[in-house]
Amino acid sequence: MTNVVEVDQKAAGLIDPELRAAIGRIARVPQLLIACDYDGTLAPIVADPTLAVPLPESVAAVRALAALPQTTVAVVSGRALRDLATLSRLPSEVHLVGSHGSEFDIGFVERLTPELVEVRTRLQVALRDIVSGQPGVRLENKPASVAVHYRTAERPVAEEVKARVAAGPATWPEVTVTHGKEVIELSVVPTHKGTAVDQLRTSLSASAVLFIGDDITDENAFANLHGPDVGVKIGPGETKAGHRVGEPIDAARLLGLLLQTRRHWLFGEAAVPIERHSMLSNGETVALVTPEAKVTWLCHPRPDSSAIFADLLGGGPAGHFAVAPERGGLPLGQRYRPGTMTVETRWSGLTVTDWLDKAPTGDAALVRRLTGNAKVGLEFAPRPEFGQVQVRLQALGDGLLVLGSNEPVALYSPGVRWEISEDGGYDTARATVDLAELDGEQLLELRFGTHSLHAHPTAAQDRQESAEQPWKDWVRGLHLPSEGRELVARSALTLKGLAHEPTGAILAAATTSLPEELGGVRNWDYRYCWLRDAAMTARALVDLGSLDEAEGFLRWVDGCVERTGGHPERLHPLYTVEGYELGAEAVIDTLPGYAGSRPVRVGNLANHQLQLDVFGPVADLLAAVADARGSVRDEEWRVLEAMVQAVERRWHEPDHGLWEARLQPRHHVYSKVMCWMTVDRALHVVRKHAGQDRPDWVALRDRIGHNVLEHGWHEEAGAYTVAYGDEEMDASSLWIGLSGLLPDDDPRFLATVLKVEADLRSGPVVYRYRWDDGLPGREGGFHICTSWLVEAYLRTGRRADAEELFEQMIATAGPTGLLPEQYDPLAERGLGNHPQAYSHLGLVRCALLLAGLLKP
């Protein structure tokens, strides 16, 4: 690989800027085919073709490219395939195509029809007669053709041979003639390099092709290139290729540059650890900011809409908004302003203050306030619809307009002189501002829903205070523990930040497709409202003393129930924030994913699963709200009745379970426990707040409870397991006790706690399960599962263990206190979507339990 690195360093200065830009674009396509000639491309032209060996730099680059995912390399040569394989000695990952596209494998000759074999024999005899006694001319017999080489012949001899071939065998109707550099090839199979490349393109479903060649025969391939394809001619002469380099070593440099660029695109350029991102929120949408003040994630107008910045999943080309000192250097630190969702990033001489404002138009506005005395570099690269829509930037007096989006977008940036450059059909604006010349402050305001570049009537400092005050007031009203007060407050703010105020929905997480395994396929879209996750989130906030989010969510649930037309058992597990069904799950194959973790998904197939556990957390939340408020509202009674009705109709069915495994439905222990909890909490509400009893509900609850206690226990495992009759453990089986179905001192609950600890705990984490869920790879430990074990320890008298595990859990949080879904204890880094409601609600509940502010 040393040769490749050396080539990359040279390439930046030696490759034409337009060709370098073309390589940058083609390196980012989902499925890339790289095809090239052999002689004159990978190997320099030599007098004796048997001595043509490839340049070591070319071999290193080709080998490395062929090893990349979603990348195919093919060598398409005029040589016989066996000869090509012998000379090139390239690995099997590189496709070799010989005889100008006639030979795709060594056994090709065996498939020639008897008629074609007879033509080939006549052709060999006729050409042998022509070249006999002609000095410097030789024949090369191939499986489906004969090549006449005259490179070393004197000019008169070569002209005579060419004339006799043209007048003789070249006129046969069964023969296809190909002219190359000082060679004529006559084939009994009608093909050329262009059709060979097309065949490879089709069979590999390539998004684009890079073809490099030097020969006349390569022009057929160049002629067939189209769309995003790139053709590179080596050496002089007329060509249909769009680009040119001088020598084979230049082609090696080009391949080295492509390798570096594609590797960065596929695997991410030093991806920022997930847990180090901070979230901005205004109750309407969310954004993520890196520790270096780079906005890498922002969806608009809703958090489940398409992203205008998706650098998080696609690197720089996917859209970002960067601010940093021109001199470079790492920040001194980053923090949330206390009690707010405002993030400050600090360097010496520069503080960047970021918040999401609520604009007068009703749309969100990202406000970036720069203060200090440093020179600051700015880079604004909007890429709407995850980069699927190409837009232009127009610089006006006080900012930039984003043109081409389906809604107005403007960047208010008074006094900034932007330079706009184009890259692959997208515009990027860059500028430098000297804060020392601007009285120490520069305001940048990304506005949605308007093209206005007028100054806001309210000063930036006053706007910041107005945006922050509601968050501060809300935090002051919470019942926070004295121990870890700030950490719990940050988790509470994060949970509230995931709530969508206009609808009452609550997001499971702020992002899509952050991986559960780096480089793996366990990447899901969590930007929606799961009934279960949202109810548990709202319950955590009720426990802290805030009812508004729960009341808004229950109204949202009431709307979802109403749309079932009297069939609450048909509720989906999740909905959009507006309460409607999701579209089909899809893949954005133009994004390489965080640190090369593909696919990037939008939508979620779990929308169509049966998950019978979702009713339990809703009923549990409703009971907590009723107890905290002392009353039950009309829409809440409707929701409660609907939850019980849904359970009554379907509790006995198998389902896909809490973890949404894409397998056959099973009788999951957790789902049955949640069905029991639905009816149990409903009975609590009607007895305490309506003064009634429901014998039919009592019978239903007891029937479900007896069923799960009997069938969920597994004798060989000595515990409650994942599903009826299944020996595998699952962290969710802890809910056999956490729900109250079994008392804390029941031996069966104690045994289940010990079994989960033994099978699923690893240091600071608890894994969901270790059974085969049908997906490749592995995942990290789940923070919410860790929180369940903390509570189980407390319930079973193991307070010291609970405190120790809780401390280990919170130590995995990022520098601003945020937690993603999972943690890898070996790599010591966060995994999964971020920030995750599950993780923070688990933290809040454990902190309250340990502080004695909440009873188990």
Q: What is the pLDDT of residues 369-392, one digit of tens each?
A: 999 999 999 999 999 999 988 899
Mean pLDDT computed over 395-401: 95
* Residue 360: predicted pLDDT: 65
Residues present in the chain in total: 856
Crossing angle of helices 747-760 and 783-795, in 10° steps, is 140
The rounded mean pLDDT for the chain is 93
pLDDT at 8: 44
Q: Which two tokens stand for residue 482?
A: 């004295």
Residue type, 560: C
Instruction: Give buried/exposed letters for 131-153 (b at 16+ CB in 10 A, else e).
Output: beebeebeebebbbbbbbbbbeb
DSSP β-bridge partners for residue 39 = 43
111 — pLDDT class (breaks 50, 70, 90): low
CA distance to 490, 779, 841, per residue, from 787 (Å) = 17, 17, 9
What does pTM read for this prediction? 0.83
Question: With left for phi above 0 and alpha for psi between -120 and 50, is residue 452 left, alpha or beta?
Answer: beta
Torsion angles phi and psi, residue 823, rounded to 5? -145, 135
The pLDDT-based confidence of 269 (bands split at 50, 70, 90) is: low
User: Torsions phi, psi of 411, nearest 5?
Assistant: -110, 110
Here the tokens at position 404 are 């081409």
pLDDT tens, 459-472? Answer: 999 999 999 999 99
Residue 102 binned pLDDT confidence (cut-offs 50, 70, 90): confident
The more confidently predicted of residues 103 and 138 is 138
Percent of the chain with pLDDT over 70: 97
Distance CA 487, CA 126 (A): 88
435 vs 442: CA distance, rounded Å? 7
- Count the Cβ atoms, other than its own, within 10 Å of residue 275: 22
Residues 6+ apart with CB under 8 A from 34: 62, 65, 71, 72, 73, 74, 209, 210, 212, 255, 258
Neighbouring-strand partners of residue 394: 401
What is the model's pLDDT at position 7?
Answer: 41
Which residues are known to be catalytic? 37
Per-residue pLDDT tens over the stretch 287-335: 999 999 999 999 999 999 999 999 999 888 899 999 999 999 999 999 9
- Please state, for a pLDDT cut of 90, what percent of the chain lies above it: 79
What does the alpha-carbon distance between residue 797 and residue 802 come to, in Å, rounded to a whole number?
Answer: 9
Distance between CA atoms of residues 205 and 454, nearest Å: 49
Domains along the chain? 2-109+190-267 (3.40.50.1000), 113-187 (3.30.70.1020), 278-474 (2.70.98.10), 498-851 (1.50.10.10)
For 114, other C-beta atoms within 10 Å of its C-beta total 7
Identify the weakest region by mean pLDDT among 185-189, 800-804, 816-820. Answer: 185-189
Q: Are 14 and 250 in contact (CB under 8 A)?
A: yes
User: Which residues lie closer than 8 Å to 538 by C-beta, 6 or more apart?
Assistant: 506, 549, 550, 553, 554, 621
Q: Which range (51-65, 256-270, 334-348, 639-653) has the least confidence? A: 256-270
| Secondary structure class of 227 (helix, strand, coil) | coil
Peptide bond into 835 cis (omega under 30): yes
